[in-house]
Amino acid sequence: MPLAFNIESRCGEARCGRLLTPHGEVETPVFMPVGTLATVKAVPQETLEELGAQLVLANTYHLYLRPGVEAVCEIGGLHAFMGWERALLTDSGGFQVFSLSPLRQLSEAGVEFRSHLDGSKHTLTPESATDAQVHLGADIIMAFDECTEYPAPRERAKESLELTLRWAARSKERFEEKKHEVPWRANDLKGKTQALFGIVQGGMYMDLRRESAGRTVELGFDGYAIGGLSVGEPRALTFETLSATLPLLPQDRPRYVMGVGTPEEIVEYAAMGVDMMDCVLPTRAARHGLLYTSEGRVNIKNAAYARDERPLDPGCGCRVCARYSRAYLRHLYASGEPLAQVLNSLHNLAHYLDTMRAVRHSIKLGDLSGLLSGVRARVNSKA
């Protein structure tokens, strides 16, 4: 098994474990910062290390277009390219093709699309997306899937999950053929290979979700992702879908929910037994001046902060909260200074990573109730 996964503590459905990737150990549940173009926007890799990021996600679609897979492969893969020795995961590119490409044509073979950058024509298939991910060389890669839109009629969701299953089988087959082409150069990685995850689809139909889960597990992957969530559905439906799906995934394999969530949601999902999550929210919100704190959200552009000498979050130990005032962060944001994005992103990531650290600690202590009631109180106070 290319990806050992040792569960060390449990608390209800939640689990705390260690994922042994070729580029180091990852404690789960883990939140993965998103580094779309092999960079978490505005945050240097040494800062990610300092924050305790263990696993970073990069987007195959974006890297395929720029700088191109070959440019990364020639240098020894993404780790070498971006100067990051810890673990990496790439998505399959499917989600971005559907969300970013202005024109796309789906067929059994794959997806033909136009680049959102220059309109040039490209094709991604389960085979080419797998090749791209092998050559990019992340530790964990994803089967090429079709992300079912929301809302989708049942028939459409069914067709989409069937296509995703056929693509999953082709992704797996291709991976077996190609997996030794991973461009890692280090001697201690000789002979090691990446891990391939399958993705469960099925729209918001619980029976389809169960069917997709069962048949994806039958195909057999190193880990299982639940896709097609956070696509605009009400949060209750997200929870329902996770509740229907998670029990059907193998207990001993990592479970990854893609593209979620708020700081409160990631606590809830971890409590349900999710091991891995990723989301652009901490860095994207930071760019819009929306900051997450232990006391709730702060919209730093608010004039009320102009003379506020307090740290952003007195309960946070990050570099930003240790050094800078709300007044200064507000000034940087209001002035359009690039340092605003740097500091805001750093803080929001610290908040997410600290939240997940607290989750792991609580699971080890065998009691998540305190954390859960805290985040629920925060959600209710907003509602």
Which residues belong to the active site?
A: 91, 278
Q: Residue ranges of the alpha helices (H) in the chain?
A: 45-51, 60-65, 69-74, 78-82, 94-100, 126-136, 154-178, 206-219, 235-245, 263-271, 281-287, 319-323, 326-334, 338-365, 369-382
Residue 319, φ and ψ in degrees, nearest 5: -60, -35
Q: Give the Cα separation of 365 and 310 in Å (integer).
A: 33
Binding region for a second copy (CB under 8 A) out of 77-85, 149-157, 241-249, 363-371: 77-85
Contact set for a second copy, span 33-52 (CB under 8 A): 37-39, 41-46
Binding region for a second copy (CB under 8 A) out of 12-20, 21-29, 78-86, 192-200: 78-86
Binding region for a second copy (CB under 8 A) out of 70-78, 92-100, 161-169, 237-245: 70-78
Contact set for a second copy, span 201-220 (CB under 8 A): none
Q: Do residues 64 and 94 touch, judged by C-beta distance below 8 A? A: no
Q: Give the Cα separation of 311 and 295 in Å (integer).
A: 12
Residue in 20, 290, 339, 358 binding a second copy, rule: CB under 8 A: 339
Q: Do residues 224 and 250 touch, judged by C-beta distance below 8 A? A: yes
Q: CB of 324: closest distance to a second copy in angstroms? A: 5
Binding region for a second copy (CB under 8 A) out of 52-60, 142-150, 257-265, 305-313: 305-313
Residue in 163, 248, 280, 334 binding a second copy, rule: CB under 8 A: 334
* Binding flag, residue 248, a second copy (CB under 8 A): no
* Binding flag, residue 20, a second copy (CB under 8 A): no
* Binding flag, residue 82, a second copy (CB under 8 A): yes
Residue in 5, 205, 328, 352 binding a second copy, rule: CB under 8 A: 328
Residue given tokens 């530790």 in the structure block: 139
Binding region for a second copy (CB under 8 A) out of 31-39, 194-202, 226-234, 257-265: 31-39
The residue (of 41 and 215) whose beta carbon lies closer to a second copy is: 41
Residue in 166, 180, 288, 307 binding a second copy, rule: CB under 8 A: 307
Residue in 120, 335, 380, 381 binding a second copy, rule: CB under 8 A: 335
Residue in 2, 7, 10, 67 binding a second copy, rule: CB under 8 A: 67
* Binding flag, residue 331, a second copy (CB under 8 A): yes
Q: Give the Cα separation of 68 and 37 in Å (integer).
A: 11
Could you tell me which residues come within 8 angstroms of residue 367 by beta carbon, excluding any fewer than 6 positions away?
Answer: 11
Specify the 3-state DSSP secondary structure of 302.
coil
Residue in 103, 186, 304, 306 binding a second copy, rule: CB under 8 A: 306
Nearest to 266 by CA among 195, 382, 354, 150: 354
Nearest to 261 by CA among 375, 340, 150, 358: 375
Q: Do residues 213 and 158 touch, judged by C-beta distance below 8 A? A: no
The residue (of 3 and 312) whose beta carbon lies closer to a second copy is: 312
Distances (CA, A) of 295 to 287, 289, 315, 379: 20, 16, 8, 11
* Binding flag, residue 365, a second copy (CB under 8 A): no
The residue (of 66 and 361) whose beta carbon lies closer to a second copy is: 66
Q: How many CB atoms lie within 10 A of CB 147?
A: 23
The residue (of 39 and 243) whose beta carbon lies closer to a second copy is: 39
* Binding flag, residue 285, a second copy (CB under 8 A): no
* Binding flag, residue 74, a second copy (CB under 8 A): yes
Residue in 6, 8, 24, 83 binding a second copy, rule: CB under 8 A: 83
Q: Give the Cα separation of 140 and 275 in Å (integer).
A: 14
Q: Give the Cα separation of 278 and 30 in Å (integer).
A: 8
Nearest to 269 by CA among 85, 37, 30: 30
Per CB under 8 A, residues contacting a second copy are: 37-39, 41-46, 66-67, 71, 74-75, 80-83, 306-307, 309, 319, 323-325, 327-328, 331-332, 334-335, 337-339, 341-343
